[in-house]
A and B are shown apart, each in its own frame.
Chain A
Protein backbone atom coordinates (compact mmCIF):
# COMPACT_ATOMS: atom_id res chain seq x y z
CA UNK A 1 0.00 0.00 0.00
CA UNK A 2 2.76 2.39 0.98
CA UNK A 3 4.60 1.54 -2.20
CA UNK A 4 1.50 2.15 -4.30
CA UNK A 5 0.94 5.49 -2.62
CA UNK A 6 4.56 6.46 -3.30
CA UNK A 7 4.25 5.28 -6.88
CA UNK A 8 1.07 7.29 -7.46
CA UNK A 9 2.64 10.38 -5.93
CA UNK A 10 5.74 9.87 -8.04
CA UNK A 11 3.77 9.55 -11.24
CA UNK A 12 1.67 12.62 -10.51
CA UNK A 13 4.63 14.82 -9.63
CA UNK A 14 6.62 13.25 -12.46
CA UNK A 15 4.10 14.57 -14.97
CA UNK A 16 4.72 18.05 -13.67
CA UNK A 17 8.48 17.62 -13.78
CA UNK A 18 8.11 16.48 -17.36
CA UNK A 19 6.15 19.50 -18.49
CA UNK A 20 8.49 22.00 -16.86
CA UNK A 21 11.47 20.23 -18.41
CA UNK A 22 10.18 19.66 -21.93
CA UNK A 23 11.08 23.22 -22.83
CA UNK A 24 14.70 22.71 -21.86
CA UNK A 25 15.01 19.64 -24.04
CA UNK A 26 13.13 21.28 -26.90
CA UNK A 27 15.49 24.23 -26.92
CA UNK A 28 18.49 21.92 -26.83
CA UNK A 29 17.04 19.69 -29.51
CA UNK A 30 16.36 22.49 -31.94
CA UNK A 31 19.33 24.73 -31.24
CA UNK A 32 21.90 22.69 -29.35
CA UNK A 33 21.84 25.22 -26.54
CA UNK A 34 21.72 24.28 -22.88
CA UNK A 35 19.61 27.03 -21.41
CA UNK A 36 20.65 27.59 -17.82
CA UNK A 37 18.02 30.31 -17.54
CA UNK A 38 15.17 27.91 -18.30
CA UNK A 39 14.02 27.74 -14.68
CA UNK A 40 13.73 31.53 -14.59
CA UNK A 41 10.96 31.26 -17.14
CA UNK A 42 9.24 28.87 -14.78
CA UNK A 43 9.41 31.62 -12.18
CA UNK A 44 8.03 34.17 -14.64
CA UNK A 45 5.21 31.79 -15.49
CA UNK A 46 4.42 31.44 -11.83
CA UNK A 47 4.33 35.20 -11.42
CA UNK A 48 2.06 35.66 -14.43
CA UNK A 49 -0.21 32.95 -13.05
CA UNK A 50 -0.14 34.60 -9.65
CA UNK A 51 -0.97 38.05 -11.01
CA UNK A 52 -3.76 36.62 -13.15
CA UNK A 53 -5.18 35.19 -9.94
CA UNK A 54 -4.58 38.29 -7.83
CA UNK A 55 -5.80 40.86 -10.36
CA UNK A 56 -8.27 39.00 -12.49
CA UNK A 57 -9.33 36.33 -10.06
CA UNK A 58 -8.40 33.57 -12.47
CA UNK A 59 -7.66 30.11 -11.20
CA UNK A 60 -3.97 29.30 -11.91
CA UNK A 61 -5.03 26.36 -14.06
CA UNK A 62 -6.63 28.90 -16.39
CA UNK A 63 -3.98 31.51 -15.75
CA UNK A 64 -1.45 28.99 -17.00
CA UNK A 65 -2.66 29.66 -20.54
CA UNK A 66 -1.93 33.36 -20.08
CA UNK A 67 1.43 32.46 -18.56
CA UNK A 68 2.18 30.40 -21.64
CA UNK A 69 1.22 33.19 -24.02
CA UNK A 70 3.11 35.93 -22.21
CA UNK A 71 6.29 33.93 -21.77
CA UNK A 72 6.07 32.55 -25.31
CA UNK A 73 6.17 36.11 -26.61
CA UNK A 74 9.01 36.98 -24.27
CA UNK A 75 10.89 33.88 -25.39
CA UNK A 76 10.61 34.90 -29.04
CA UNK A 77 12.12 38.26 -28.17
CA UNK A 78 14.91 36.71 -26.11
CA UNK A 79 15.72 34.30 -28.92
CA UNK A 80 15.78 37.07 -31.49
CA UNK A 81 17.83 39.57 -29.51
CA UNK A 82 20.20 37.31 -27.56
CA UNK A 83 20.32 33.59 -28.20
CA UNK A 84 20.43 33.93 -31.98
CA UNK A 85 23.72 35.78 -31.68
CA UNK A 86 25.56 32.92 -30.00
CA UNK A 87 24.24 30.00 -32.06
CA UNK A 88 27.61 29.68 -33.76
CA UNK A 89 29.70 30.73 -30.77
CA UNK A 90 31.64 28.17 -28.73
CA UNK A 91 29.48 26.23 -26.21
CA UNK A 92 31.07 28.09 -23.32
CA UNK A 93 29.79 31.40 -24.64
CA UNK A 94 26.35 29.86 -25.09
CA UNK A 95 26.24 28.52 -21.56
CA UNK A 96 27.38 31.73 -20.03
CA UNK A 97 25.06 33.91 -22.02
CA UNK A 98 22.21 31.93 -20.50
CA UNK A 99 23.82 32.23 -17.07
CA UNK A 100 23.84 36.00 -17.56
CA UNK A 101 20.22 35.80 -18.63
CA UNK A 102 19.44 33.85 -15.47
CA UNK A 103 20.95 36.57 -13.29
CA UNK A 104 19.14 39.30 -15.21
CA UNK A 105 15.70 37.68 -15.12
CA UNK A 106 15.96 36.74 -11.46
CA UNK A 107 16.93 40.22 -10.40
CA UNK A 108 14.54 41.94 -12.76
CA UNK A 109 11.83 39.90 -11.05
CA UNK A 110 13.16 40.96 -7.68
CA UNK A 111 12.94 44.59 -8.80
CA UNK A 112 9.58 44.22 -10.43
CA UNK A 113 7.73 41.91 -8.07
CA UNK A 114 9.56 42.39 -4.79
CA UNK A 115 11.08 39.69 -2.68
CA UNK A 116 7.92 38.38 -0.99
CA UNK A 117 6.80 34.81 -1.27
CA UNK A 118 3.41 34.77 -2.90
CA UNK A 119 0.94 31.99 -3.13
CA UNK A 120 -2.61 31.61 -4.30
CA UNK A 121 -5.52 30.18 -2.40
CA UNK A 122 -7.86 27.92 -4.29
CA UNK A 123 -10.77 25.92 -2.97
CA UNK A 124 -9.24 22.58 -3.94
CA UNK A 125 -5.68 23.01 -2.81
CA UNK A 126 -6.14 21.18 0.46
CA UNK A 127 -8.40 18.45 -0.81
CA UNK A 128 -7.59 14.95 -1.88
CA UNK A 129 -9.45 12.06 -3.46
CA UNK A 130 -9.53 9.04 -1.26
CA UNK A 131 -9.49 5.52 -2.65
CA UNK A 132 -9.34 3.25 0.34
CA UNK A 133 -6.02 4.01 1.96
CA UNK A 134 -4.81 5.83 -1.11
CA UNK A 135 -4.78 9.63 -1.16
CA UNK A 136 -4.67 11.45 -4.44
CA UNK A 137 -3.89 15.10 -3.96
CA UNK A 138 -6.28 17.22 -6.01
CA UNK A 139 -3.78 19.99 -6.85
CA UNK A 140 -1.25 17.34 -7.88
CA UNK A 141 -3.84 15.55 -9.94
CA UNK A 142 -4.92 18.80 -11.58
CA UNK A 143 -1.31 19.70 -12.36
CA UNK A 144 -0.75 16.22 -13.71
CA UNK A 145 -3.79 16.37 -15.95
CA UNK A 146 -2.82 19.79 -17.23
CA UNK A 147 0.64 18.41 -17.95
CA UNK A 148 -0.81 15.49 -19.86
CA UNK A 149 -3.00 17.84 -21.86
CA UNK A 150 -0.12 20.15 -22.68
CA UNK A 151 2.08 17.18 -23.52
CA UNK A 152 -0.57 15.89 -25.90
CA UNK A 153 -1.01 19.32 -27.43
CA UNK A 154 2.73 19.57 -27.97
CA UNK A 155 2.82 16.11 -29.49
CA UNK A 156 0.00 16.99 -31.87
CA UNK A 157 1.70 20.23 -32.79
CA UNK A 158 5.05 18.59 -33.41
CA UNK A 159 3.69 15.67 -35.37
CA UNK A 160 0.54 16.86 -37.05
CA UNK A 161 1.13 20.48 -37.97
CA UNK A 162 3.30 21.88 -40.73
CA UNK A 163 5.07 24.14 -38.27
CA UNK A 164 5.74 21.36 -35.82
CA UNK A 165 7.18 19.12 -38.49
CA UNK A 166 9.21 22.02 -39.80
CA UNK A 167 10.59 22.58 -36.33
CA UNK A 168 11.57 18.95 -35.98
CA UNK A 169 13.16 19.13 -39.38
CA UNK A 170 15.16 22.18 -38.32
CA UNK A 171 16.31 20.32 -35.25
CA UNK A 172 17.41 17.27 -37.19
CA UNK A 173 19.06 19.05 -40.08
CA UNK A 174 18.92 22.82 -40.28
CA UNK A 175 20.52 23.00 -43.72
CA UNK A 176 18.15 20.49 -45.27
CA UNK A 177 15.27 22.30 -43.59
CA UNK A 178 16.09 25.54 -45.29
CA UNK A 179 16.26 23.66 -48.58
CA UNK A 180 12.62 22.73 -47.91
CA UNK A 181 11.80 26.41 -47.65
CA UNK A 182 11.70 26.41 -43.87
CA UNK A 183 12.81 29.64 -42.25
CA UNK A 184 15.14 28.16 -39.64
CA UNK A 185 15.49 31.43 -37.73
CA UNK A 186 11.77 31.65 -37.36
CA UNK A 187 11.51 28.02 -36.29
CA UNK A 188 14.15 28.62 -33.66
CA UNK A 189 12.25 31.64 -32.43
CA UNK A 190 9.08 29.61 -32.14
CA UNK A 191 10.96 26.70 -30.57
CA UNK A 192 12.51 28.90 -27.92
CA UNK A 193 9.21 30.64 -27.26
CA UNK A 194 7.44 27.31 -27.07
CA UNK A 195 10.13 25.86 -24.85
CA UNK A 196 10.08 28.62 -22.27
CA UNK A 197 6.33 29.03 -22.65
CA UNK A 198 5.72 25.41 -21.73
CA UNK A 199 7.98 25.72 -18.73
CA UNK A 200 6.05 28.83 -17.71
CA UNK A 201 2.82 26.94 -18.19
CA UNK A 202 4.15 24.24 -15.86
CA UNK A 203 5.06 26.92 -13.36
CA UNK A 204 1.55 28.33 -13.29
CA UNK A 205 0.06 24.86 -13.02
CA UNK A 206 1.92 24.10 -9.80
CA UNK A 207 0.87 27.39 -8.17
CA UNK A 208 -1.98 25.77 -6.23
CA UNK A 209 0.62 23.99 -4.13
CA UNK A 210 3.80 25.93 -4.69
CA UNK A 211 4.94 29.39 -3.67
CA UNK A 212 6.47 31.89 -6.03
CA UNK A 213 9.33 34.28 -5.33
CA UNK A 214 12.12 35.62 -7.52
CA UNK A 215 14.58 32.86 -6.66
CA UNK A 216 12.17 29.94 -6.97
CA UNK A 217 13.89 28.93 -10.21
CA UNK A 218 16.93 27.76 -8.29
CA UNK A 219 14.78 25.05 -6.73
CA UNK A 220 14.05 23.56 -10.12
CA UNK A 221 17.13 24.09 -12.22
CA UNK A 222 19.08 20.99 -11.20
CA UNK A 223 15.91 18.94 -11.22
CA UNK A 224 15.15 20.00 -14.78
CA UNK A 225 18.62 19.05 -15.92
CA UNK A 226 18.26 15.67 -14.29
CA UNK A 227 14.96 15.04 -16.06
CA UNK A 228 16.39 16.05 -19.40
CA UNK A 229 19.59 14.08 -19.06
CA UNK A 230 17.73 10.96 -17.97
CA UNK A 231 15.47 11.26 -20.98
CA UNK A 232 18.26 12.19 -23.34
CA UNK A 233 19.18 15.77 -24.22
CA UNK A 234 17.00 16.97 -27.04
CA UNK A 235 14.38 14.24 -26.78
CA UNK A 236 10.85 15.44 -26.06
CA UNK A 237 9.58 11.93 -25.47
CA UNK A 238 12.61 11.44 -23.25
CA UNK A 239 11.64 14.38 -21.07
CA UNK A 240 8.35 12.68 -20.30
CA UNK A 241 10.08 9.44 -19.39
CA UNK A 242 12.73 11.38 -17.49
CA UNK A 243 10.12 13.35 -15.57
CA UNK A 244 8.36 10.17 -14.55
CA UNK A 245 11.67 8.58 -13.61
CA UNK A 246 12.68 11.52 -11.42
CA UNK A 247 9.26 11.69 -9.77
CA UNK A 248 9.22 8.00 -9.01
CA UNK A 249 12.88 7.88 -7.91
CA UNK A 250 12.29 10.77 -5.52
CA UNK A 251 9.15 9.24 -4.16
CA UNK A 252 10.38 5.66 -3.81
CA UNK A 253 13.88 6.51 -2.61
CA UNK A 254 12.30 8.34 0.32
CA UNK A 255 11.13 4.96 1.56
CA UNK A 256 14.62 3.48 1.70
CA UNK A 257 16.80 6.53 2.31
CA UNK A 258 16.41 9.69 4.36
CA UNK A 259 14.54 12.32 2.37
CA UNK A 260 17.59 14.50 2.82
CA UNK A 261 19.50 12.24 0.45
CA UNK A 262 16.92 12.21 -2.31
CA UNK A 263 19.01 14.57 -4.41
CA UNK A 264 22.09 12.45 -3.86
CA UNK A 265 20.23 9.45 -5.23
CA UNK A 266 19.11 11.52 -8.21
CA UNK A 267 22.59 12.82 -8.94
CA UNK A 268 24.09 9.37 -8.80
CA UNK A 269 21.48 8.13 -11.27
CA UNK A 270 22.20 11.23 -13.35
CA UNK A 271 25.95 10.60 -13.46
CA UNK A 272 25.48 6.91 -14.13
CA UNK A 273 23.14 7.58 -17.04
CA UNK A 274 25.49 10.21 -18.47
CA UNK A 275 28.47 7.91 -18.24
CA UNK A 276 26.80 4.78 -19.57
CA UNK A 277 24.03 6.08 -21.81
CA UNK A 278 24.68 9.72 -22.68
CA UNK A 279 21.85 9.52 -25.20
CA UNK A 280 19.45 9.02 -22.29
CA UNK A 281 17.09 6.26 -21.27
CA UNK A 282 14.91 6.54 -24.35
CA UNK A 283 17.84 6.20 -26.68
CA UNK A 284 17.92 7.69 -30.13
CA UNK A 285 14.20 8.35 -30.38
CA UNK A 286 13.42 12.02 -30.40
Chain B
Protein backbone atom coordinates (compact mmCIF):
# COMPACT_ATOMS: atom_id res chain seq x y z
CA UNK B 1 0.00 0.00 0.00
CA UNK B 2 2.95 2.30 0.60
CA UNK B 3 3.75 4.60 -2.25
CA UNK B 4 7.16 4.06 -3.80
CA UNK B 5 9.62 6.71 -2.76
CA UNK B 6 10.00 9.12 -5.59
CA UNK B 7 13.53 9.98 -6.58
CA UNK B 8 12.85 13.22 -8.36
CA UNK B 9 12.08 16.07 -5.96
CA UNK B 10 9.26 17.29 -8.11
CA UNK B 11 7.19 14.20 -7.57
CA UNK B 12 8.12 13.44 -4.00
CA UNK B 13 5.18 13.89 -1.68
CA UNK B 14 5.43 16.62 0.95
CA UNK B 15 5.12 14.12 3.78
CA UNK B 16 5.79 10.45 3.49
CA UNK B 17 5.43 7.99 6.32
CA UNK B 18 6.60 4.47 5.59
CA UNK B 19 6.32 1.30 7.61
CA UNK B 20 5.97 3.22 10.85
CA UNK B 21 5.93 1.27 14.10
CA UNK B 22 5.40 3.41 17.18
CA UNK B 23 4.23 3.24 20.75
CA UNK B 24 4.55 4.54 24.29
CA UNK B 25 5.22 1.87 26.91
CA UNK B 26 5.61 -1.79 26.28
CA UNK B 27 3.36 -2.39 23.31
CA UNK B 28 3.37 -0.71 19.91
CA UNK B 29 0.28 1.22 18.89
CA UNK B 30 1.18 1.42 15.21
CA UNK B 31 2.24 -1.67 13.30
CA UNK B 32 3.76 -0.60 10.01
CA UNK B 33 1.68 2.35 8.88
CA UNK B 34 2.38 4.11 5.58
CA UNK B 35 0.73 7.40 4.72
CA UNK B 36 1.59 10.19 2.30
CA UNK B 37 0.43 13.76 1.93
CA UNK B 38 1.17 15.48 -1.33
CA UNK B 39 2.03 19.15 -1.79
CA UNK B 40 -1.12 21.16 -1.00
CA UNK B 41 -3.22 18.07 -0.49
CA UNK B 42 -6.05 17.66 2.06
CA UNK B 43 -5.87 14.20 3.59
CA UNK B 44 -7.87 12.76 6.43
CA UNK B 45 -7.27 9.76 8.69
CA UNK B 46 -10.28 7.91 10.05
CA UNK B 47 -10.63 5.24 12.65
CA UNK B 48 -11.95 4.30 16.08
CA UNK B 49 -10.79 5.94 19.28
CA UNK B 50 -7.71 3.82 19.87
CA UNK B 51 -6.84 2.91 16.31
CA UNK B 52 -3.61 4.93 16.53
CA UNK B 53 -4.63 8.08 14.64
CA UNK B 54 -3.16 10.47 17.20
CA UNK B 55 -0.07 8.32 17.56
CA UNK B 56 0.50 8.67 13.82
CA UNK B 57 0.27 12.47 14.00
CA UNK B 58 2.38 12.61 17.11
CA UNK B 59 5.01 10.45 15.46
CA UNK B 60 5.31 12.99 12.68
CA UNK B 61 5.84 15.68 15.30
CA UNK B 62 8.33 13.44 17.09
CA UNK B 63 6.28 13.36 20.30
CA UNK B 64 6.15 9.57 20.52
CA UNK B 65 8.94 8.07 22.58
CA UNK B 66 9.46 4.91 20.55
CA UNK B 67 9.17 4.67 16.80
CA UNK B 68 10.88 3.04 13.85
CA UNK B 69 10.28 3.24 10.13
CA UNK B 70 10.72 6.26 7.85
CA UNK B 71 9.19 9.72 8.03
CA UNK B 72 10.34 12.27 5.48
CA UNK B 73 9.13 15.80 5.05
CA UNK B 74 10.15 17.82 1.99
CA UNK B 75 13.38 15.92 1.69
CA UNK B 76 14.27 15.95 5.39
CA UNK B 77 14.42 12.83 7.53
CA UNK B 78 12.22 13.59 10.52
CA UNK B 79 13.22 10.47 12.45
CA UNK B 80 16.52 12.06 13.38
CA UNK B 81 15.01 15.26 14.78
CA UNK B 82 13.84 16.23 18.26
CA UNK B 83 10.25 17.44 18.41
CA UNK B 84 11.14 21.09 18.82
CA UNK B 85 13.01 21.08 15.50
CA UNK B 86 9.94 19.97 13.53
CA UNK B 87 7.96 23.26 13.37
CA UNK B 88 10.96 25.02 11.89
CA UNK B 89 10.55 22.85 8.78
CA UNK B 90 7.04 24.16 8.26
CA UNK B 91 4.90 21.60 10.07
CA UNK B 92 2.28 23.02 12.40
CA UNK B 93 0.43 20.57 14.61
CA UNK B 94 -2.83 21.40 16.35
CA UNK B 95 -3.01 18.76 19.06
CA UNK B 96 -6.06 16.94 20.24
CA UNK B 97 -7.64 18.77 23.16
CA UNK B 98 -6.48 22.15 21.81
CA UNK B 99 -3.70 22.67 24.37
CA UNK B 100 -3.76 26.43 24.35
CA UNK B 101 -1.57 28.12 26.93
CA UNK B 102 -4.32 28.83 29.45
CA UNK B 103 -2.68 31.64 31.41
CA UNK B 104 -1.59 33.62 28.40
CA UNK B 105 -3.70 36.05 26.44
CA UNK B 106 -5.04 35.17 23.03
CA UNK B 107 -2.48 37.44 21.45
CA UNK B 108 0.41 35.85 23.36
CA UNK B 109 -0.81 32.41 22.33
CA UNK B 110 -0.95 33.40 18.71
CA UNK B 111 2.43 35.06 18.69
CA UNK B 112 4.05 32.03 20.30
CA UNK B 113 2.97 30.05 17.28
CA UNK B 114 5.66 31.87 15.36
CA UNK B 115 8.39 30.98 17.85
CA UNK B 116 10.20 28.73 15.41
CA UNK B 117 10.31 31.51 12.79
CA UNK B 118 10.51 34.39 15.25
CA UNK B 119 12.87 36.46 13.12
CA UNK B 120 10.62 36.25 10.09
CA UNK B 121 9.31 39.75 9.19
CA UNK B 122 6.12 38.19 7.81
CA UNK B 123 4.85 37.44 11.32
CA UNK B 124 2.83 40.59 11.84
CA UNK B 125 1.09 40.20 8.54
CA UNK B 126 0.20 36.65 9.43
CA UNK B 127 -1.15 37.82 12.76
CA UNK B 128 -3.57 40.14 10.99
CA UNK B 129 -4.51 37.30 8.67
CA UNK B 130 -5.41 35.03 11.58
CA UNK B 131 -7.60 37.74 13.10
CA UNK B 132 -9.33 38.16 9.75
CA UNK B 133 -9.89 34.41 9.53
CA UNK B 134 -11.30 34.29 13.08
CA UNK B 135 -12.78 37.71 13.82
CA UNK B 136 -13.92 36.46 17.19
CA UNK B 137 -10.29 36.25 18.33
CA UNK B 138 -9.78 39.91 17.53
CA UNK B 139 -12.48 40.76 20.04
CA UNK B 140 -10.82 38.62 22.68
CA UNK B 141 -7.25 39.56 21.98
CA UNK B 142 -6.39 40.47 25.59
CA UNK B 143 -8.42 37.73 27.23
CA UNK B 144 -6.71 34.78 28.94
CA UNK B 145 -7.04 31.78 26.66
CA UNK B 146 -8.04 29.52 29.55
CA UNK B 147 -11.24 31.52 29.99
CA UNK B 148 -12.41 31.08 26.39
CA UNK B 149 -15.11 28.66 25.27
CA UNK B 150 -14.08 25.40 23.65
CA UNK B 151 -14.72 26.67 20.15
CA UNK B 152 -12.76 29.85 20.69
CA UNK B 153 -9.91 27.85 22.17
CA UNK B 154 -9.87 25.68 19.07
CA UNK B 155 -9.67 28.85 16.97
CA UNK B 156 -6.72 29.98 19.07
CA UNK B 157 -5.06 26.61 18.57
CA UNK B 158 -5.55 26.71 14.83
CA UNK B 159 -4.61 30.37 14.59
CA UNK B 160 -1.51 29.72 16.61
CA UNK B 161 -0.51 26.98 14.17
CA UNK B 162 -1.09 29.28 11.23
CA UNK B 163 1.34 31.84 12.67
CA UNK B 164 4.10 29.51 11.58
CA UNK B 165 3.08 29.92 7.97
CA UNK B 166 3.12 26.13 7.66
CA UNK B 167 3.45 24.03 4.54
CA UNK B 168 1.67 21.22 6.34
CA UNK B 169 -1.05 21.71 8.92
CA UNK B 170 -1.76 18.73 11.16
CA UNK B 171 -5.17 18.79 12.81
CA UNK B 172 -6.02 16.26 15.51
CA UNK B 173 -9.75 16.02 16.26
CA UNK B 174 -10.43 19.74 15.78
CA UNK B 175 -14.21 19.42 16.11
CA UNK B 176 -14.14 17.13 19.15
CA UNK B 177 -16.77 18.25 21.60
CA UNK B 178 -17.71 21.46 19.83
CA UNK B 179 -21.13 22.78 19.00
CA UNK B 180 -22.06 22.03 15.38
CA UNK B 181 -22.21 25.66 14.41
CA UNK B 182 -18.64 26.20 15.57
CA UNK B 183 -17.59 23.04 13.78
CA UNK B 184 -19.00 24.44 10.57
CA UNK B 185 -17.10 27.68 11.06
CA UNK B 186 -13.86 25.80 11.66
CA UNK B 187 -14.25 23.59 8.66
CA UNK B 188 -14.95 26.57 6.45
CA UNK B 189 -11.70 27.97 7.77
CA UNK B 190 -9.88 24.72 6.97
CA UNK B 191 -11.09 24.94 3.41
CA UNK B 192 -9.88 28.55 3.25
CA UNK B 193 -6.49 27.54 4.56
CA UNK B 194 -6.28 24.69 2.11
CA UNK B 195 -7.28 26.97 -0.70
CA UNK B 196 -4.31 29.14 0.25
CA UNK B 197 -1.99 26.29 -0.66
CA UNK B 198 -1.36 24.67 2.71
CA UNK B 199 -1.42 20.90 2.85
CA UNK B 200 -3.60 19.50 5.64
CA UNK B 201 -3.52 16.18 7.45
CA UNK B 202 -6.74 15.85 9.41
CA UNK B 203 -7.77 13.31 12.03
CA UNK B 204 -11.46 13.51 12.75
CA UNK B 205 -13.87 11.45 14.78
CA UNK B 206 -16.74 12.93 12.82
CA UNK B 207 -16.24 10.78 9.76
CA UNK B 208 -18.89 12.34 7.60
CA UNK B 209 -17.52 15.80 8.18
CA UNK B 210 -13.97 14.71 7.49
CA UNK B 211 -14.90 13.08 4.22
CA UNK B 212 -16.82 16.15 3.18
CA UNK B 213 -13.73 18.40 3.35
CA UNK B 214 -10.79 16.12 2.55
CA UNK B 215 -9.88 14.88 -0.87
CA UNK B 216 -8.27 11.64 0.19
CA UNK B 217 -8.41 9.48 3.28
CA UNK B 218 -6.96 6.55 5.19
CA UNK B 219 -8.79 4.27 7.60
CA UNK B 220 -6.81 2.98 10.55
CA UNK B 221 -7.80 -0.03 12.59
CA UNK B 222 -5.72 -1.37 15.48
CA UNK B 223 -2.60 0.39 14.27
CA UNK B 224 -2.80 -0.68 10.64
CA UNK B 225 -4.05 1.04 7.50
CA UNK B 226 -7.00 -1.03 6.31
CA UNK B 227 -8.33 1.31 3.61
CA UNK B 228 -6.88 4.11 1.54
CA UNK B 229 -8.86 5.88 -1.12
CA UNK B 230 -10.38 9.14 -2.27
CA UNK B 231 -12.85 10.73 0.09
CA UNK B 232 -15.79 10.07 -2.18
CA UNK B 233 -14.90 6.43 -2.60
CA UNK B 234 -14.53 6.02 1.13
CA UNK B 235 -17.88 7.65 1.76
CA UNK B 236 -19.43 5.06 -0.53
CA UNK B 237 -17.49 2.15 0.92
CA UNK B 238 -19.95 -0.15 2.76
CA UNK B 239 -17.43 -0.96 5.44
CA UNK B 240 -16.91 2.73 6.21
CA UNK B 241 -20.60 3.43 6.08
CA UNK B 242 -21.32 0.60 8.50
CA UNK B 243 -18.53 1.13 11.00
CA UNK B 244 -17.95 4.85 10.92
CA UNK B 245 -20.98 6.53 9.49
CA UNK B 246 -23.44 4.36 11.35
CA UNK B 247 -25.60 4.03 8.30
A–B touch (CB < 8 A): the answer is yes
Q: Could you list which residues of chain A lie within 8 angstroms of chain B, going by C-beta atoms?
A: 162, 165-166, 168-169, 172-173, 175-184, 284-286
Please name 23 pairs of A and B residues whose Cβ atoms are closer than 8 Å in the assembled complex, sorted by A: A162-B118, A165-B104, A165-B111, A165-B112, A165-B115, A168-B104, A169-B101, A169-B104, A172-B101, A172-B103, A173-B99, A173-B100, A175-B99, A176-B101, A179-B92, A179-B93, A179-B99, A180-B115, A181-B88, A181-B116, A182-B84, A182-B115, A284-B103
Q: How far is the CB of A44 from chain B (nearest CB, A)?
A: 31
Q: With CB as the reference atom, state the residue of chain B lying closest to A180.
A: B115
Report B-chain residues with C-beta under 8 Å of the C-beta of A177.
101
Q: Check A175–B95 contact: CB distance below 8 A.
A: yes
Which residues of A have CB within 8 Å of B61? 178-179
Which interface residue of B85, B92, B93, B112 has the most chain A CB atoms within 10 A? B112
A176 surroundings in chain B (CB, below 8 A): 95, 99-101
Determine whether B82 belongs to the interface, using a CB cutoff of 8 Å to chain A.
yes
Interface 1/0 per residue, B70-97 and A, CB below 8 Å: 0000000000001111111000110100
Mostly, the A contact residues are: helix
Residues of chain B within 8 A of A184, CB atoms compared: 84
What residues of A have a CB within 8 angstroms of the CB of B87 in the complex?
Answer: 179-181
In the complex, the chain A residue whose C-beta lies closest to that of B118 is A162
Query: A179–B115 Cα gap in the complex (Å)?
Result: 10
Q: Verify B113–A180 contact, CB threshold 8 A.
A: yes
- Does any Cβ of A come within 8 Å of B208's Cβ? no
Bound-state CA distance A165–B163 (Å) is 15
A247 to chain B, nearest CB (A): 26
Q: Are B93 and A172 in contact (CB under 8 A)?
A: no
- Residue contact B104 to A172, C-beta cutoff 8 Å: yes
**Bound: A16/B95 CA distance, A:** 41
Alpha-carbon separation in the docked complex, A135 to B99 (Å): 51
Chain B contact patch, size range: 20 to 34
A250 to B103, CA, bound (A): 32
Query: Which residues of B lie under 8 Å from residue A168 when comparing CB positions?
Result: 101, 103-104
- Nearest B residue to A172 via CB reads B101
**Contact call A286/B112, Cβ cutoff below 8 A:** no
Residues of B close to A180: CB separation below 8 A: 87, 112-113, 115-116, 160
Residue of A nearest to B89 (CB): A181
List the 9 closest A-B pairs by CB distance, nearest first.
A181-B116, A181-B87, A176-B99, A183-B84, A178-B83, A172-B101, A286-B103, A180-B115, A178-B84
Select from chain B the residue with minimum beta-carbon distance to A184.
B84
| Extra contacts besides A162-B118, A172-B103, A179-B95 (14): CB < 8 Å | A172-B102, A175-B63, A176-B101, A178-B61, A179-B83, A180-B87, A180-B113, A180-B115, A181-B85, A181-B116, A182-B112, A184-B84, A284-B146, A286-B103
CB of A70, distance to nearest CB on chain B (Å): 28
Q: Which of B103, B108, B111, B113 has most A Cβ within 10 Å?
A: B103
Shortest Cβ gap from A177 to chain B (Å): 8
In the complex, chain B residues whose CB is within 8 Å of the CB of A166: 112, 115
**Judging by beta carbons under 8 Å apart, are A181 and B86 in contact?**
yes
Contact, CB under 8 Å: B101 / A181: no
The CA of A184 and the CA of B84, in the complex, are separated in Å by: 8
- Please indicate which of the listed interface residues A162, A175, A180 has the most CB atoms of chain B within 10 Å of its own CB: A180
CB closest chain-B residue, reference A179: B93
Specify which chain A residues have a CB less than 8 angstroms from the CB of B146 in the assembled complex: 284
Contact among A173, A175, A181, A284 with B115 in the assembled complex (CB-CB below 8 Å) = A181
How many whole Å from A18's CB to the nearest CB in chain B? Answer: 20
* A184 → chain B closest CB, angstroms: 7
What are the residues of chain B within 8 A of A162 when measuring CB–CB? 115, 118
- Mask: chain B, 38-71; 1 = CB below 8 Å from A; 0 = not: 0000000000000000000000010100000000
